[in-house]
Amino acid sequence: MDGIADMGGTPGWGSMQPPRRDEPVFEESWEGRAFALAIFSNRVSGGNVDSFRHALERLDRAAYLDDGYYGRWLNAGVLRLVDSAILAPGAVEARARNLRGERVEEPPIPEPAKPDYAPTGEGSLRSVDTVPVFAVGERVRARNVSVPGHTRLPGYVRGRTGVVELIQPAHVLPDTNAHFLGENPQHVYSVRFDSHELWGADADSFFVLTVEMYESYLEPTS
């Protein structure tokens, strides 16, 4: 889906700022707790890394941007719990208001409805019997498709042409795994895109961008 997380190439965000060399993992103590709660919430809700990413991209602008990096992780964790009916919609907001001294009725805890998800192996690396469709050095085009659900196909590369630099091990396909529709492992390719191909003649000329692309994201150029 074209969610708020797919920002590459969109205007209005200003220039990139390099990270501080002394930047800590957590700037504030609440960030570490938010990180832990996000991981825990995805586990108890029966999720996987792709379903969590799908939760992140479904957040609204305020939940994704205004609360900072670990704030969005926490918000995505809450969304996963609501998805799985472990929390009722609005339960966290109601509890926060009550903790601030307001008197509001909290929605009842629903019956959990965890998805029937059982991974077939550890991590996301898999073995497949098919040979790679594309070869190193081959020119390929990213499919220009609009995906209604989760995908790792960035919007800014769709319809653009690049060159295969490396064939990676096969991975679980996020597009189906996020929705518990099967792992569908595929070959993955590191594809090099020229900056002008992605963003036109006004783009900086001194860099290329390498994107990891699942096999179903690509098509031959001829």
pLDDT in tens, 40-72: 998 888 889 999 999 999 999 999 999 999 999
Tell whether the model's pLDDT for residue 23 goes beyond 60. yes
pLDDT digit string, tens, across residues 178-195: 999 999 999 999 999 999
pLDDT of 160 reads: 97
Tell whether the model's pLDDT for residue 150 goes beyond 70. yes
Fold observed for domain 1-112: Cyclin A; domain 1 (1.10.472)
* CATH assignment of 125-220, among 2.80.10.50, 3.40.50.1820, 2.60.40.10, 2.30.30.50: 2.30.30.50
Confidence class for position 145, pLDDT limits 50, 70, 90: very high
Confidence class for position 170, pLDDT limits 50, 70, 90: very high
Its pTM stands at 0.85
pLDDT of 117 reads: 54
pLDDT (mean) for 185-207? 91
* DSSP H/E element including 169: strand 161-171
pLDDT (mean) for 206-215? 93
User: Alpha helix locations (H) across the chain?
Assistant: 29-44, 49-57, 61, 68-83, 91-99, 174-177, 195-199
pLDDT digit string, tens, across residues 72-108: 999 999 999 998 888 899 999 998 899 999 999 988 8
Question: Beta strand 125-126 with 218-220: parallel, antiparallel or unpaired?
Answer: unpaired
pLDDT of 51 reads: 93
What one-letter code names the amino acid at 159? Answer: G
pLDDT digit string, tens, across residues 111-143: 655 555 555 557 899 999 999 999 999 999 999
Within 8 A by CB and 6+ apart from 62, the residues are none
Domain ranges of the chain: 1-112, 125-220
Confidence class for position 9, pLDDT limits 50, 70, 90: confident
Rg (Cα) of the chain, in Å, rounded? 20
**Helix orientation angle between 49-57 and 68-83, rounded to the nearest 10 degrees:** 110
pLDDT of 20 reads: 83
Tell the residue number behind the tokens 């994201």, with chain if given. 217
